[in-house]
Amino acid sequence: MKKHNFSAGPSILPQEVLQQAAKAVIDYNNEGLSLIEMSHRSKAFVDIMENARALVLELLGLEGKGYQALFLQGGASLQFLMTAMNLLEKKAGYVNTGAWSEKAIKEAQKIGEIIEVVSSKDANFNYIPKGYNVPSDLDYLHLTSNNTIFGTQIKSFPTTPVPLVCDMSSDIFSRVLDFTQFDLIYAGAQKNMGPAGTTLVVVKEDLLGKVSRNIPAILDYQKHIGADSMLNTPPVFAVYTSLLTLEWLKKEGGITAIEEANEKKATLMYSEIDLNPLFKGFAAVEDRSTMNATFNLADEALKPTFDAMLKEAGISGVNGHRSVGGYRASMYNALPIESVQALVEVMSELENKA
Ligand SMILES: *Cc1c(COP(=O)(O)O)cnc(C)c1O
């Protein structure tokens, strides 16, 4: 039986994408070659890379606006370092909304001066700080749009002349935003775009080339742009499968349509958390993520029963992160609402039993 996959990452992909990707591993486009055994300089793969980069900009509404899309390696974790390498000259600001922001800060500190503009650590990151001042002398302000572990999401981004850099690993392509407000966006593919192994970077070109340090080639965005995102052998399978997912998203109606579906799933999930007395939500209500719903049992003694019921219903991947505990339902783009219904049913069954 196919499970209801609530995994936080690597996570669910559309079934049709998995089928197409599996076929391409055996024989890509009836060429008599596997996708993963052909040259990345072949016309077949060069087209894949070009299409993927173009479709990213199209879906984000960034075509012809001075942005470049890159498919890199090293995960979002390498971007913690690479953004600072390429953009940090004097001082950068970070909004600390959780474990991933903290890691981003730690890496950037190895490159230059960092200030923590604001933090929600005082309440174990269960909310998004608001109304803070952004100093005007920063090279950039770094944000984490969706806090995968804590289940909070920035709903409204600061307006500032300072360039915005945003880690969108767990909510890229999930909701309509004015993406032109960001100067650099990065996202590990494995949460909402594709398999692990590639990281999307979308960067406004005029932001680059301003720092004085000598950037190693493999860490230099300009070098990657100059090489059409093929400075070295790209992760061909991850890029192709990401392209398939983006094509699926376009066919579904793009970000506008998926946002509506994501809202419905989140509403269903959070109403159960709020109405069922056996559960309590972790994140502040106004900052709740549409992607990762974090919640706890009101009475830990019910855990074995609840876990057994989840297993019985084929619900997978809902264990909370060790720093929050409890449960986390990740409801990425490819998760059907039927899976949320299945989870909600188990939660209300527990209420009937208890
Ligand atoms: C998962 C995640 C990361 C880390 O991604 P890797 O690709 O494993 O390096 C960074 N930021 C956020 C918000 C994440 O959810």
**Residues making up the binding site for pyridoxal 5'-phosphate:** 76-77, 100, 148, 167, 190, 232-233
Q: pTM of whole model > 0.95? A: yes
pLDDT of residue 354: 76
pLDDT at 51: 98
- Is residue 167 among the annotated active site residues? yes
Burial string for 160-196 (b: 16+ CB within 10 Å, else e) reads eebbbbbbbbbbbbbbebebeebbbbbbbbbbbbbbe
How many residues would you count in the chain? 354
Q: Which of 139, 183, 191, 204 is catalytic?
A: 191
Q: What pLDDT was estimated at residue 303? A: 97
Residue to mutate, 144, 165, 169, ligand 1, most ligand atoms under 8 Å from C-beta: 169
Residue 171's pLDDT is 98
Q: What is the pLDDT of residue 1?
A: 76
Ranges for all domains in the chain classified under CATH 3.40.640.10: 15-251
Residue 11 · residue 5 · CB < 8 Å: yes
Distance from residue 100's CA to the centre of ligand 1 (Å): 7
The rounded distance, in Å, linking the Cα atoms of 59 and 258 is: 12
Residues of the chain with pLDDT under 50: none
CATH classification code of 15-251:
3.40.640.10
DSSP state, residue 167: E
195 lines ligand 1 (CB under 6 A): no
- Cα of 169 vs centre of ligand 1, distance in Å, is 6
Give yes or no for a contact between 172 and 185, defined as CB atoms under 8 angstroms apart.
yes
Class for the domain spanning 255-353: alpha beta
pLDDT, tens digit, for every residue of 294-310?
Answer: 999 999 999 999 999 99
| Residue to substitute in 148, 153, 171, 173 for testing ligand 1 pocket (most ligand atoms within 8 angstroms of CB) | 148
Stretch(es) of the chain classified as CATH 3.90.1150.10: 255-353
